[in-house]
Structure 1
């Protein structure tokens, strides 16, 4: 009887611990980014590699966390066409959107990644080394949808 009680207690503690870890990873660390804040200002790097042009972002919705620079995600609409963007801004060849929390439903990393691979969307460099070893990347769609995330660059410590 005593072993069942101890075993049951261990299972209950493990379940509670698992729930706390899940909550902290999925909800606890994230903060919504206020439209108009510095974190909501999106820019693109011109072909010269040094000039940052601000990008008009309508309906901005974003999240970030202090615990990691890779937790940044955002969605918005813009009137910038892909044709103009490819002539003016630096295309980001190794774009790999990172999966975010399920509750931030405007950002679907798997769909964005598939669209980048198929050519339905094009990725551009928003800012190189926004934090050491981390780039900000913007994916643009022909219909004006745009998505932003941070990802490790070649300078990141492996």
Structure 2
């Protein structure tokens, strides 16, 4: 009887682990179809403009506001983007599930560190405390992700919103 119970515990643990893995990597994500104005950038004056893009691929999940990832190409040159749109200096791309092959956070992060790509603000506070970031490479490849901003870092830790931040939404 003891061997049976031990085997049952192992089987249940493996099933639970497999289920959790599946939900984290596949279960909550869904592909997003292109809408026409999928990528916008914020100009230095605060106005957002849609970016001309092609080859758009994106995923998102309702389970977290930072699960959004997208890939695209644009005819906009990096110099044109830098001259027109607001930089995002603290950009840190977040990993995407391995099956979403067009988004490589490590490559994007290294390119940003080496100034081989630039990050721009797409939408500030797309969700409270979360900014949408766009990175553009010189060859026209572009990537989008959501990142916790300075207000979100403080408020999500249970502290009051710092000066200059919008008030947090009431729960």
Question: Match of 2:68?
Answer: 72
Flag as ranges the 4+ runs of structure 1 deviating above 3 A. none
Q: Are 1:118 and 2:114 matched, yes or no?
A: yes
> What is the aligned-residue RMSD (CA, Å)?
1.0
Gaps of 5+ in 1: none
TM-score, normalised to structure 2, is 0.88
How many angstroms does 1:121 deviate by? 0.7
SS in 2 for 1:7: helix
SS in 2 for 1:106: coil
How many angstroms does 1:36 deviate by? 1.8
Residue by residue over 1:52-76, the C-alpha shift from the partner in whole angstroms, topping out at 9 and shown as x without a partner, is 0110110100000111110000000
Distance 1:5 1:121 in 2: 57
SS in 1 for 2:145: strand
Question: Match of 2:24?
Answer: 25
Residue by residue over 1:95-145, the C-alpha shift from the partner in whole angstroms, topping out at 9 and shown as x without a partner, is 000011110000001111111101111000000000000000000000000
Question: Match of 2:15?
Answer: 16
Residue by residue over 1:31-84, the C-alpha shift from the partner in whole angstroms, topping out at 9 and shown as x without a partner, is 1000126xx611101011x20011011010000011111000000000111111
Distance 1:34 1:152 in 2: 24
Distance 1:22 1:71 in 2: 16
> Aligned match of 1:46 in 34, 43, 47?
43
Tell me the number of residue pairs that the alignment of Structure 1 and Structure 2 aligns: 154
Q: Are 1:140 and 2:136 matched, yes or no?
A: yes
SS in 1 for 2:95: coil
Distance 2:3 2:144 in 1: 51
SS in 2 for 1:107: coil
Question: Match of 1:7?
Answer: 6
Question: Match of 1:152?
Answer: 148
Distance 2:134 2:86 in 1: 11
